[in-house]
Structure 1
Amino acid sequence: MARSSRREAGRRRLAMRLPQMRKLIMEARDPWQLELFEAYQAAVAARDSIRGRSSHANLVREYDETCHEIEQHLIRAMSEPSYAQISKG
């Protein structure tokens, strides 16, 4: 999957996962946001590829935690007043 495709796939996944942030996620253009979208897609894809294998249960949990951390980071960053002012500018 090409980098831009991974970014957009991650963006769509996060928009579904965080409906309260959907509009901001879909409008996001900052490089750090795009990197988060790509990292999220990579973590989800890796997790999904090993899910269901009992020998990888700990790794699945780690990928779940990584996904959750990315979600929380994005929520915090996009909820900050300084971000809201910049995105309206």
Structure 2
Amino acid sequence: ADIRARLGDALIAMPTTPLVAPEIAPLEADDAVFHRTNLRTLRNTTLGNFLDLPGLAIPNGSDADGLPTSFLLCVQSGEDERLLGVGLAVEPLIRPG
């Protein structure tokens, strides 16, 4: 309830993941590396899941190595239509390419 009171009508914007797609071979070779990378990769989206904040990932280009990147918008629970509307409004402004 506290996060909802603090958030009000605002949106949260953050990177969808704190890293770009990792190479697969090291993940397949070492379970500890896989689990550590998996937890880090899911960190930002898991936060929204725990706090009941719907999220929408919007592609926004690529990093220096050409790997895709995106950012995540989150809103209050029950504001899914608003989130989709904001996503539709923002997407043309940041469309890659």
- Band of TM-score, shorter chain: 0.3 to 0.5
Q: Which has the higher strand share?
A: 2
TM-score (structure 1 length as normaliser): 0.35
Higher-RCO chain (CA-CA 8 Å, sequence separation at least 6):
2
Q: Rg larger in 1 or in 2?
A: 2
Q: Which has the higher helix share?
A: 1
TM-score (structure 2 length as normaliser): 0.34
